[in-house]
Structure 1
């Protein structure tokens, strides 16, 4: 499943050059991943209540072009790997004219809140949308 979230760049996200600050793109990626999880029926709160956390373990991010105030952005999320303890998303942020601003690869892992150690995500939470398309 691929999901696309939308947002418009706000003034407080821009630096003195009127460009979106590099660190803000990480927030955009997180926003879109949460939107993706909601869209595919993943119950993040239930995972937390069951004693598990999902942590981002690694992000490779490539800045391609700048976004500026009032740009409409689309943030695409696509699962590309799902293992027993972890997974990976590919994400892309682009403008409405198709200009790609950011490409990222985001790795995540499931951790037990009881032990603080990597743990298998229970089968009940492995919704179809988390599985990469074939």
Structure 2
């Protein structure tokens, strides 16, 4: 299974009043990660939109394990834990520089026809680009937390 990895430094404007990285920053980092993921598979979002298709998020869930502070870096790993012709679940694992798990997360997205504003099935040749990143068994931290929340 392939993954996309990023290293994201913590800047002063990421810090909240408690002194650690604000929750909203994790969502911003996940957006960066999804954009990089789409670029890596050869389907940058701007090129996809030129074809009349856009990925749209319908669910975001984050499980915070440890905090990140100024001077830390988030090491993010991204893969898929579900792939369908209309939707995809993107999984995230974030650690600090020492390898301590900081957060796990997932986002569910659907592909939308921009003219009809309805879900759009991706052609088989597009779906094939996602397949090397598919690992149906997510890390235990993500799977356990998701099953408890349902």
Q: Name 1:42's counterpart in structure 2.
A: 43
Superposed displacement of residue 52, structure 1: 1.0
Q: Structure 2 CA distance, aligned partners of 1:94 and 1:104?
A: 12
Does residue 57 of structure 1 match 2:94? Answer: no
Mapping 1:5-84, distance limit 5 Å: 5-84=6-85
Superposed displacement of residue 64, structure 1: 0.7
Q: TM-score, normalization: structure 1?
A: 0.91
Superposed displacement of residue 123, structure 1: 3.5
Give per-residue Cα distances to partners, 1:91-126, cap 9 Å, x unaligned. 011101111111001111001111111111234433
Give per-residue Cα distances to partners, 1:32-56, cap 9 Å, x unaligned. 1211222222232221011111011
User: Can you give the 5+ residue segments of structure 1 that lack an aligned partner in the other structure?
Assistant: none
Superposed displacement of residue 133, structure 1: 4.4
Q: TM-score, normalization: structure 2?
A: 0.82
User: Which is richer in helix?
Assistant: 2
Structure 1 stretches of 4+ moved >4 Å: none
Mapping 1:76-115, distance limit 5 Å: 76-115=77-116
Whether the 8 Å contact between 1:47 and 1:125 is mirrored in structure 2 is no
Q: CA RMSD in A?
A: 1.5
Whether the 8 Å contact between 1:10 and 1:70 is mirrored in structure 2 is yes
Q: Structure 2 CA distance, aligned partners of 1:63 and 1:102?
A: 4
Q: Structure 2 CA distance, aligned partners of 1:108 and 1:52?
A: 12
Q: Which has the higher contact order (CA 8 A, sep 6+)?
A: 1
Whether the 8 Å contact between 2:85 and 2:127 is mirrored in structure 1 is no
Q: Structure 2 CA distance, aligned partners of 1:112 and 1:57?
A: 15
Q: Structure 2 CA distance, aligned partners of 1:109 and 1:57?
A: 7
